Amino acid sequence: MKFDVCIVGAGIAGATMAAELAKTGKRIAVVERNLSERDVIIGELLQPGGVLRLHEMGFSSFLENIDAQPVYGYDIILDGEEILVPYPKQKEELSGYGFRNGAFLQNIRHHSRTLENVTFIEARVTELLEEDNTVKAVRFLRKHANGEEQLQAGLTIVSDGPVSRFREKLSNPAKKVSGHFLGLLLKNCQLPHPNHGHLVMGNHPPFVIYPVTSTASRVLIDFKGEKPPKFNADFKQFLLDTFEAVMPEVVRDCFVAAVQEGHFKLFPNHRLPAAPLKKKGAVLLGDALNMRHPLTGGGMTAVFADVKNLAENLSAVTDFFDTKAVGRAVQKYYATRHLGTQTTNILADGLYGVVYNPALRRAFFEYVGRGSRYAEETMAILAGLNRDKKLLLTHFLGMARYGTAQNVKAAVKGRDGVSISIKGVRSAAKTGEQLAAGTLNLVKDAVLIITPLLLTEKPDAATRLMLKTLNRNPE
Ligand X SMILES: Cc1cc2nc3c(=O)[nH]c(=O)nc-3n(C[C@H](O)[C@H](O)[C@H](O)COP(=O)(O)OP(=O)(O)OC[C@H]3O[C@@H](n4cnc5c(N)ncnc54)[C@H](O)[C@@H]3O)c2cc1C
Closest distance to ligand X from the beta carbon of 213 (Å):
14
CB 117 within 8 A of CB 25: yes
- Give least dist CB 104 to ligand X, A: 10
Beta-ladder partners of 45: 98
Closer CB to ligand X, 9 or 248, in the complex: 9
Contact between 10 and ligand X per CB under 6 A: yes
Q: Considering only residues 393 through 432, tell me which ones interact with ligand X, judged by CB under 6 A.
A: none
From the list 12-20, 372-380, 416-424, 450-458, the region that binds ligand X by CB under 6 A is 12-20
* Nearest alpha carbon to residue 475 among 390, 349, 354: 390
Distance CA 201, CA 194 (A): 19
Segment 242 to 281, residues that bind ligand X, using CB under 6 A: 267, 269
Pairing of strands 204-211, 216-224: antiparallel
Smallest gap from residue 163 Cβ to ligand X (A)? 7
Report d(CA 49, CA 55) in Å as an integer: 10
For residues 108 and 16, the answer to whether their CB atoms sit within 8 Å is: yes
* CA dihedral angle for residue 394, residue 300, residue 22, residue 127, rounded to 10 degrees: 110
List, as one string, the DSSP characters of 352-377: HHHHTSHHHHHHHHHHHHT-HHHHHH
| Closer to ligand X by Cβ: residue 267 or 356 | 267
| Residue from 171, 178, 213, 301 in contact with ligand X (CB under 6 A) | 301
One residue of 27, 124, 196, 389 binding ligand X per CB under 6 A: 124
46 belongs to the binding site for ligand X (CB under 6 A): yes
Nearest CB to ligand X, comparing residues 243 and 367: 243
Is 293 a binder of ligand X (CB under 6 A)?
no
The two beta strands, 69-71 and 45-46, are unpaired
Distances in Å between the alpha carbon of 221 and those of 41, 192, 239? 11, 17, 10
- 159 touching ligand X, by CB under 6 A: yes
Binding part of the chain for ligand X, among 20-28, 38-46, 68-76, 129-137 by CB under 6 A, reads: 38-46
3-class state of residue 199 by DSSP: strand
Indicate which single residue of 165, 236, 280, 328 sits in contact with ligand X (rule: CB under 6 A): 165
User: Is 12 among the residues that bind ligand X (CB under 6 A)?
Assistant: yes
Of the residues 14, 96, 353, 403, which one makes contact with ligand X according to CB under 6 A: 14
Residue 170 touching ligand X (CB under 6 A): no
Q: Which stretch binds ligand X (CB under 6 A): 245-253, 297-305, 354-362, 444-452?
A: 297-305
Burial class (CB in 10 A: 0-12, 13-18, 19+), 174: exposed
Of 4, 20, 44, 349, which lies in the binding site for ligand X, with binding defined by CB under 6 A? 44
Q: Does 41 bind ligand X (CB under 6 A)?
A: yes
The only residue of 3, 7, 9, 28 in contact with ligand X, by rule CB under 6 A: 9
Residue 326: partners with Cβ closer than 8 Å, 6 or more residues away? 154, 155, 280, 281, 314, 317, 320
Residue 376 in contact with residue 88, Cβ under 8 Å? yes
Residues near ligand X (CB under 6 A) are 8-14, 31-34, 41-46, 124-125, 159-162, 165, 181, 267, 269, 286-288, 294, 297-301, 303
